[in-house]
Amino acid sequence: MPIVIEAGSDMASLCLFDPAALPPDYRQRPVRERGSILTTLIDREAALRILTGSDGSFHFHLYLDENPPENPGKLTLDRSIVNTAGTFCLTGEEDVRPADDKGFGLAAIPLLAGKYSVKIWRVPKSEETEGELIQKRAIAEVGPEAWANYTRRSTFSVIIVIGLMLGGVFCVLATLTRSGRGYFGWPGLAAIWLGWLALVQIIPRLMRSAEDEKLARILIEAQRGFPSYIIHLARA
């Protein structure tokens, strides 16, 4: 079974790297110096760069010392990478940092230290959109009626959120404008604000259901089943 990893970038570039090869103060270095360090690590086979062609979040299926599916897609990278500390990290190039620098978006892959051959394939898009395939998988899990109810509740939730946002704007304008203060008075404004804050707290709780939470988990799991890339790591 593959290891499923999610990584994203705002630079259309992801990095698989040995965090032990980075200087401890890497994140404190100037941007240009960090780029130079990363290029040196790539030359030393301590890191590699994955050019995605676009910003965003990407799912990876990682096969560690086991065979990936046949003909997984277009081979985009075939090289070696060296690991010295028993961990590879995968993240956007802008978020590269030592493994002990905790933070969002750093996927750690534990393995034995040593040299690995790496192959990365870009998975071709299906004729059906990923959203359609995910929807089909969700309907297969819960049935068409439950899915229809979920979509109706989701649409209603969007309407409610917009209504709450407009209510917040009304509260602000009534408080900041002279006409609003004159019409409602401070006691009236306090009541309006308290009413709005109460709705913000109560409505989301009333709209939350166990069925919706179950469907949300199913959708997340379904998304993980459609990788953008497949990685094969094997000890060299």
Residue 190 confidence (pLDDT) above 80:
yes
Which tokens in the block code for residue 163? 């209504």
Which tokens in the block code for residue 136? 């089909």
Contact 18, 83 (CB under 8 A): yes
Rounded Cα distance between 113 and 225, Å, is 29
189 & 78 share domain = no
79 & 108 share domain = yes
* Structural domains in the chain (count): 2
Residues spanned by the domain of 211 = 130-222
75 & 172 share domain = no
Amino acid of residue 17: F
Q: What is the pTM of this model?
A: 0.66
Phi-psi label, residue 56: left if phi above 0, alpha if psi -120 to 50, beta otherwise: left
193 & 88 share domain = no
Highest mean pLDDT (candidates 41-55, 119-133, 177-191): 41-55
158 & 57 share domain = no
Contact 37, 22 (CB under 8 A): yes
24 & 123 share domain = yes
88-100 pLDDT, tens per residue?
889 998 889 886 6
Which tokens in the block code for residue 78? 């075939």
Q: What pairs with residue 75 in β-bridges? A: 121
Quote the Cα angle for 38-120-113, to 5°: 60
Dihedral sign, CA of 190, 191, 194, 197?
A: negative
pLDDT for the residue numbered 166: 92
